[in-house]
Chain A
Amino acid sequence: MSHLATRIEETFPGPFIKATEWRGDVAVIVKREALHDVARFLRDDPSLRFDYIVHVSSVDWPDDEERFEVVYEVYSIRTRQRIRLKTRVPESDAVVDSLTDIWRGADFMEREVYDMMGIRFRNHPDLRRILMPDEYEEGYPLRKDFPLRGKGWRDTFEFLDEPTR
């Protein structure tokens, strides 16, 4: 296991769930209650100093009990290493603590996750849709149960893929 993952496990033995390393990428899965604390630790610990946020993403696993996975990828300019911090939330209570107060760039990235996957972020300063229109009510497009052709009025079009004879 990578030394980063070991550090996190030692500091947060309770919330730490799993660490993986694949193709050189280190990923750590923690319980969502501790996500904010782990993130703050990653940024403030003098030997880690993860000061640069790379991206915030989300993955939908419809068959799992905890359906959504929120992914934060951060980088340390000083120590030149990256880590992926992940947490899982169930569909009935898809809320994660916002990390906007730790990395300000998380603001837009979390809004995008909310827009695309419908995961809400607690204490986010301005949680609105960002890419889809504000009044969009047809769901969250990147969920696996959202059809590629779209929902709502587009679905009422007649498609010409069947012979009309």
Chain B
Amino acid sequence: MAQFEDQRTTVYKIDPEHPESATLPTLRTEELLLNMGPQHPSTHGVLKVVLELEGERLVKSTPVMGFLHRGVEKLAEEGTYHQFIPHTDRLDYVCAMYNNFAYCRAVEKLMNITVPDRAEYLRTIVAEIQRIIGHQFWLGTQALDIGAMTVFFYCFRDREILLDWFDELCGARLTTSWYRIGGVERDFTPSLFAKLRQFLDYFPPKIDEYVIFLEKNRIWLARTKGVAVISAEDALSFGLSGPTLRGSGVDYDLRKYEPYSAYPKCEFSVPVGKNGDTYDRYWIRVQELYESVKIIRQCLEQIQDGPIMADVPSVTLPPKERVFTNLESMIQQFKLFSQGFNAPPGEIYCGTEAHKGELGFYIVSTGGGKPYRLKIRAPSFIHMGAFDHMSRGYMIADAVTIFGTYDIVMGECDR
């Protein structure tokens, strides 16, 4: 301690005629450990990252996760397949619909159920609305983290319209549980169709508006261009998916390459970035907003009347109105919820392209009404694995934007 005191107080005299002869003291440097979080507002939940700093540069960062761990995978083993649907809402609580969708698809693959056409269209429409909500939420919060507050209000204004639409559809804004194994819970009403058409006309100019705010904003460009660069090979090796992977130039979108639901019947393109930086990922997400609008438009044109639930009475739920009026349906509903359906022994993995990335469910069944093992492939968790690699060498302020670039939600990350 005394040595440092000496260093600071020593007065170094420099001969003005021979300044080069002066011996300046070597400054003592040391790495600084900084705990960011778990209550930091930009961590989008409760995440702690231990940053090792050299000056303002990040040398190493160690994410500490698990503050929101609720043991969802363990809970899944104790309930029936139907009972797990509300748990999936609480994974990525910003985009519950897509979690329901991914889970129901996995169980349908396990049970080998084909969903009727109308239900597939309804599912695709709602999934794309959820993608719009997710990207709006991302854009708003990412801009807010960087300091552009206005974009946040504009994004959330339009997000509200869609959340109200969800409210009218299923009675909940965030924890929706609208998807069912084999179909959907209820059909759209004419009013919902009308509101959706109105929104599709209203929304594309608003996307242009968000872009105007950011595209020429010097701060936004400085904070996103060339930040958190990851090469395509590294991104693949880390298992990144969704816009985070496509930003690096890898054309990987499950909607295109393992088509499901009504996506093969719609025409849309998959935007792919070049530089693998935060700006490219932002650009991809904005382009996906336009693509989602396109997909919803096509679905609305193509949708036909028909059943909204697969007719497999041993697995799928009866319509609610029949449960209240018909004894057999009531027994069916009771049996399905108290005992569950009998799944064949086997194991499946089913991945779905959620707006964050590939959300997959790996289900092991040994027969009976409960999954023997259910593993959730959560994109947020896997993206955090690349955080250390992507943040090295950047400034401490960039750590905030690097969390943001993954679109991280801790409910999904910690499960």
Contact = CB atoms under 8 A, between A and B. Distances in A.
Interface of A: 22-23, 25, 27, 51-55, 57, 59-60, 71, 73, 77, 80, 82, 84, 103-105, 107-109, 112, 116, 129-133, 141-142, 146, 148
Contacts of A116: 73
B349 A77 contact: no
Interface residues of B, number: 43
Interface of B: 65-66, 69, 71, 73-75, 77-78, 109-110, 112, 233-234, 236-240, 250, 252, 257, 346-349, 351, 358, 360, 362, 364, 372-373, 375, 377, 381-382, 384-386, 389, 414-415
B110 A23 contact: yes
Contact of B73 (A53, A130, A133, A142): A142
21 contacts: A23-B109, A23-B348, A25-B348, A51-B237, A53-B238, A53-B239, A55-B377, A59-B364, A59-B373, A77-B250, A80-B257, A84-B349, A104-B234, A104-B385, A104-B389, A105-B238, A105-B386, A131-B69, A132-B66, A142-B373, A146-B74
Contacts of B78: 148
A51 B73 contact: no
B389 to A, nearest CB: 7
Given A23-B348, A60-B373, A77-B252, 17 more contacts: A23-B110, A53-B239, A55-B360, A71-B362, A77-B250, A103-B239, A104-B385, A104-B389, A105-B385, A105-B386, A108-B384, A131-B65, A131-B66, A142-B373, A146-B74, A148-B77, A148-B78
Contacts of B233: 51
A104 B65 CA distance: 18
A105 B382 contact: yes
Contact of B358 (A54, A107, A109, A129): A54
Contacts of B351: 54
A51 B384 CA distance: 19
Nearest to B69: A131
Contact of A54 (B75, B109, B348, B360): B360
A104 B382 contact: no
A47 B75 CA distance: 41
B298 to A, nearest CB: 24
Contact of A108 (B73, B77, B257, B381): B381
Contact of A109 (B110, B360, B364, B385): B385
5 A-B pairs closest in CB distance: A105-B239, A108-B385, A131-B66, A57-B375, A55-B377
Given A52-B239, A130-B66, A57 B381 contact: no
A51 B236 contact: yes
A148 B71 CA distance: 9
B377 A54 contact: yes
Nearest to A143: B74
Contacts of B71: 141
A155 to B, nearest CB: 15
B181 to A, nearest CB: 15
Given A104-B234, A109-B385, A73 B252 contact: no
Contacts of A80: 257
A22 B237 contact: no
A35 to B, nearest CB: 18
A52, A116, A141, most chain B CB atoms within 10 A: A52
